[in-house]
Structure 1
Amino acid sequence: MVAVMIQGTGSNVGKSMLVAGLCRVATRLGLSVAPFKPQNMSNNAAVTADGGEIGRAQALQARACGLEPHTDMNPVLLKPETDRGAQVILQGSAIGRAEARDYQGLKPRLLGGVLDSFARLSAAHDLVIVEGAGSPAEVNLRPRDIANMGFARAAGVPVVLAGDIDRGGVIAQIVGTQAVIDAGDAAMIRGFLVNKFRGDPRLFDDGYRMIEARTGWRGFGVVPWFADAHRLPAEDAVDLRASGGTGLHVVCLTLSRIANFDDLDPLAAEPGLRLTMLAPGQAIPGDAGLVIVPGTKSTLGDLAFLRAQGWDIDLAAHHRRGGHVLGICGGYQMLGRMIDDPSGADGVAGQVAGLGLLDVTTVMAPDKRLTRVTGTALGQPVSGYEIHMGRTDGPDCARPFAHVPDPDGAISADGRVTGSYLHGLFSDDAFRAAFLARLGAASRPGFEAGVDAALDDLADHLEAHLDVAALLAVAR
């Protein structure tokens, strides 16, 4: 087993991007590399070749390695449904829901699955680069931990600790981590790196030496801010970003449980569009040409959330003004006349009126559809994936949005409201161009090539500023 684990001093310190870049670096060195994250919490999921789901960040890391995503790369995925509860995915399949307190009792079972997945990856590849979750300094969570030191100790994987200087206090972040974790955990850490530095890194030389002196850990380098990070899919909803383009104004409703929001990345990259991620409490702008109701982990919960913002009234007014509406997955379900959840698969059992912009009805069911699909839409090739519960039928389904190869989605009689279960649809250049042309906007090709170019640029960036050879040698 040859592996190294990148843990962070906190959430959002850049662990996912660091692992993606290191995966591309090691792959370019000729190694067979795989990413691994024992436990992830995200509603941004990818469908794998083996018919399961993992965090979207691990799918990007797999791409950096030149691999198809596999459920072993992220054996435990938590998909938040409420502030206190989440759906639990083990090795690609849902095993139930758990409240935060109840989840602790599941961890012994989950650790077995985590170690099994890690063993299979380790046997199949020269190197596994592991990403932690949150921070090992959350010592109140250390008992039964499977995401950070609990995994590192159980699997015998050495750790490199990443700190985020952009948020300030990086010396305290790294030195403080050593101060609060126990000696056995601290012994797993072989060194540290400092991420997201803005300005001249030499100005931090004294601070860098101070961390080395106080911890006894060696430093692997200071990574300047990677300006092209926006070209890579964001993992967390907190990273959702608008675009500064001009032309057609596209507005996406930022739902409370927004999911698979990387659907929007190709639109954010279009210079001929202005993408707005509409925050709660804000009205839908009158100049919006297209409003997107995105995917969600909780269709009924976010339908209530949408109404609480007054967006149902705004959407009706937008449609009356001649505007276009696109609903994706859960957003598609909301656009219909009714959502029927007889078994409480999405929450409380019962029927709820939809927004009524499409003449369709959705019936929820416990079974989840997880599949990759290819086909055509608007006369162009389209590919993507489905990840949803429920089935939608009704008169507007007679005008399907796509054939993948079965009919998918629905289009209103006036042609201005569209719903689809297809995620990832805008990644296909030809389809995206055809879709935007109907709205009077031009498109720039090359989105997928741009993601790969960004991964190469990220790898170059890390090689220029880290002692990559020494860091990867930690794995041996």
Structure 2
Amino acid sequence: MAKAIMIQGAGSNVGKSMLVAGIARAAVRRGLSVAPFKPQNMSNNAAVTTDGGEIGRAQALQARACGLEPHTDMNPVLLKPETDVGAQVIVQGKRFATMKAREYGTRKADLIPRVLESYHRLAAAHDLIVIEGAGSPAEVNLRAGDIANMGFAEAADCPVILVGDIDRGGVIAQLVGTDVILPDHDRVRIKGFAINKFRGDTTLFAEGMTAITDHTGWVPLGIVPWFADAWKLPAEDVMDVATRKGGAIKIVVPRLNRIANFDDLDPLAAQPDVTVEIIEAGRPLPGDADLVLIPGSKSTIADLAHFRAQGWDTDLLAHVRRGGHVLGICGGYQMLGREIADPEGIEGPATRVRGLGLLDVTTVMSAQKTVTLSNATYDATGDPVTGYEIHIGETTGPDGRNGWLTLDSRRAGAASADGRVKGCYLHGLFTSDGFRNAYMAGIGAPVQTMHYDAGVDATLDALADHLEAHLDIDGLLNLAETVPL
């Protein structure tokens, strides 16, 4: 029968996702069949699964650490923010509703049967489920109806390991304070704790570990030093990409408010001769860029207005006049056209807006959502390209005749007459080594021997080695408990 352990954080961004991936890989190397699980995630960086749905990209990486294909059961509730107060709610991979935060707060408890359904399906198929919480269980104001942290742990009757982030300071208060504020029925679920992101000599925190144990009674499982190769793994947050200086070829990426599916940047940022720079609002697009890459967006029309408000439309035209290259992916592709029409009000009030005009195509939004894994061919070289599509809307127009990919025996994407401006709906295409080398050679980069996917797997192994050296993996796995049927 399957066992389970839940990794919760004493705050956001303590490194839970990476720890779950590393623990899972270490458990797999012990001969266990392991699956990741996150009951509720909030992210516009989604992955498409083999069963045709969406989950958080972090869970897709964790699935890879387990040697599994991503499945919607691994993240049954995914919240994709569309505005500051509302999000699209994805349940078991499919769009369920669009809700404001307050409405979701009153209805999230209704989703626990679906969450447990997915959880128990995984438990029936594997030896171990490594569960990731979201945010912090100390947010007791969110405890009613909770399905992300202690609410799920209670419903699933699973033990919890609490992780603190020492890099941001105050880690003793993070952990002990969580113990103090939790109600008794939640507090007793925490069986152990660990410290993450330590820089320097870990022995200097020995007294801190003792203090936390004395106050809480939890089992100390270790102090994990900063994992220097974390940047080689797909980023969960766009700010984890930030600026990666790898070489003279400069790719700049305007930071959209609702940036989505930016995993296209990961293979580029890993390439030794490439610098990827995220441009924040209020900064101009640098004049020395070789490529401006406009990424996906959860709210294309609103992000197009944001793009113009920064003056980036003017910067982009100047970049093109200087002979620079432009690539728009998904929402970025839609922005590059002459017009975006939303007659049904999918993204807000029904409207029709002028695009950036660098491609002679138009986009019409519709309620039908495309979510699919795709295989294509790069027409210029014949290199195979693998990726996924996840978008609403259809884009057509004369520049579609300059499509530069072949997808299911049809031309896909669009390009300007001189080929310097391109767009497509296919995410993840730069993970294909041959295509990436050919495309980058077109903007002046030398050919590389880097094998991106192999590098990710090697880094997952290095992460597992890192945790084996600093975390009591066997002790942690011994705290896992049998999943009640």
TM-score, scaled relative to structure 1: 0.99
Contact 2:241 2:269 in 1 (8 A): no
Aligned partner letter, 2:177: G
Q: How does 1:60-99 map to 2 (within 5 A)?
A: 60-99=61-100
- CA distance in 2 between partners of 1:470 and 1:328 (Å): 45
Deviations for 1:64-107, whole angstroms, at most 9, x for unmatched residues? Answer: 00000000000000001111110000000011111010001221
- CA distance in 1 between partners of 2:213 and 2:41 (Å): 30
Contact 2:39 2:115 in 1 (8 A): yes
Deviations for 1:359-417, whole angstroms, at most 9, x for unmatched residues? Answer: 00000001110000112013211010000000000000001121122322100112110
- CA distance in 1 between partners of 2:32 and 2:24 (Å): 9
- CA distance in 2 between partners of 1:199 and 1:148 (Å): 31
Give the match for residue 21 of structure 1. Answer: 22
Aligned partner letter, 1:461: H
The answer for unaligned runs of 5 or more in structure 2 is none
- CA distance in 1 between partners of 2:135 and 2:431 (Å): 30
Aligned partner letter, 1:67: L
User: What SS does structure 2 have at the residue aligned with 1:418?
Assistant: strand
Deviates more, 1:202-211 or 1:339-348: 339-348
User: What SS does structure 2 have at the residue aligned with 1:199?
Assistant: coil
Deviations for 1:98-145, whole angstroms, at most 9, x for unmatched residues? Answer: 101000122122111101000100111000000000000000000000
Give the match for residue 464 of structure 1. Answer: 469
- CA distance in 1 between partners of 2:248 and 2:291 (Å): 12
Give the match for residue 425 of structure 2. Answer: 421
Deviations for 1:233-282, whole angstroms, at most 9, x for unmatched residues? Answer: 11123323221122221111111111111110111011111211111111
- CA distance in 1 between partners of 2:145 and 2:240 (Å): 29
Contact 1:342 1:351 in 2 (8 A): yes
Deviation at 1:212, TM superposition (A): 0.2
The answer for unaligned runs of 5 or more in structure 1 is none
Whether 2:442 is the aligned partner of 1:441: answer no
Give the match for residue 413 of structure 2. Answer: 409
Percent of residue pairs identical = 63
Give the match for residue 135 of structure 2. Answer: 134
User: What SS does structure 2 have at the residue aligned with 1:387?
Assistant: strand
User: What SS does structure 2 have at the residue aligned with 1:60?
Assistant: helix
Whether 2:402 is the aligned partner of 1:399: answer yes
- CA distance in 2 between partners of 1:89 and 1:463 (Å): 35
Aligned partner letter, 2:342: D
- CA distance in 2 between partners of 1:451 and 1:274 (Å): 19
Q: How does 1:112-191 map to 2 (within 5 A)?
A: 112-191=113-192
Give the match for residue 54 of structure 2. Answer: 53
Deviates more, 1:54-63 or 1:262-271: 262-271
Contact 2:9 2:137 in 1 (8 A): yes
User: What SS does structure 2 have at the residue aligned with 1:250?
Assistant: strand
Contact 1:51 1:92 in 2 (8 A): yes
Aligned partner letter, 1:448: D
Q: How does 1:188-267 map to 2 (within 5 A)?
A: 188-267=189-268
Aligned partner letter, 2:76: P
- CA distance in 2 between partners of 1:52 and 1:187 (Å): 36
- CA distance in 2 between partners of 1:127 and 1:443 (Å): 42
Tell me how many residue pairs correspond in the alignment: 476
Deviates more, 1:398-407 or 1:424-433: 398-407
- CA distance in 2 between partners of 1:186 and 1:370 (Å): 40
Compared CA separation, residues 443 and 243, structure 1 to 2 (3 A): farther
TM-score, scaled relative to structure 2: 0.97
Deviation at 1:62, TM superposition (A): 0.1
Deviates more, 1:166-175 or 1:436-445: 436-445
Deviation at 1:37, TM superposition (A): 0.1
- CA distance in 1 between partners of 2:459 and 2:98 (Å): 36
Give the match for residue 271 of structure 2. Answer: 270
- CA distance in 2 between partners of 1:90 and 1:336 (Å): 32
User: What SS does structure 1 have at the residue aligned with 2:243?
Assistant: coil
Deviation at 1:474, TM superposition (A): 0.9
Deviation at 1:357, TM superposition (A): 0.3
Give the match for residue 279 of structure 1. Answer: 280
Give the match for residue 393 of structure 2. Answer: 390
Aligned partner letter, 2:457: D
User: What SS does structure 1 have at the residue aligned with 2:64?
Assistant: helix
- CA distance in 2 between partners of 1:380 and 1:458 (Å): 31
- CA distance in 2 between partners of 1:309 and 1:427 (Å): 30
Aligned partner letter, 2:422: T
Q: Which runs of 4+ in 1 moved over 3 A?
A: none
Contact 1:272 1:443 in 2 (8 A): no
User: What SS does structure 2 have at the residue aligned with 1:128?
Assistant: strand
User: What SS does structure 2 have at the residue aligned with 1:301?
Assistant: helix
Contact 1:270 1:443 in 2 (8 A): no
User: What SS does structure 2 have at the residue aligned with 1:108?
Assistant: helix
Aligned partner letter, 1:267: L
Q: How does 1:299-378 map to 2 (within 5 A)?
A: 299-377=300-378, 378=380
Deviates more, 1:344-353 or 1:117-126: 344-353
- CA distance in 1 between partners of 2:195 and 2:447 (Å): 38
Aligned partner letter, 1:440: G
Give the match for residue 475 of structure 1. Answer: 480
Deviations for 1:28-85, whole angstroms, at most 9, x for unmatched residues? Answer: 1110000000000000000000000000000000000000000000000000111111
- CA distance in 2 between partners of 1:108 and 1:260 (Å): 28
Deviation at 1:289, TM superposition (A): 1.1
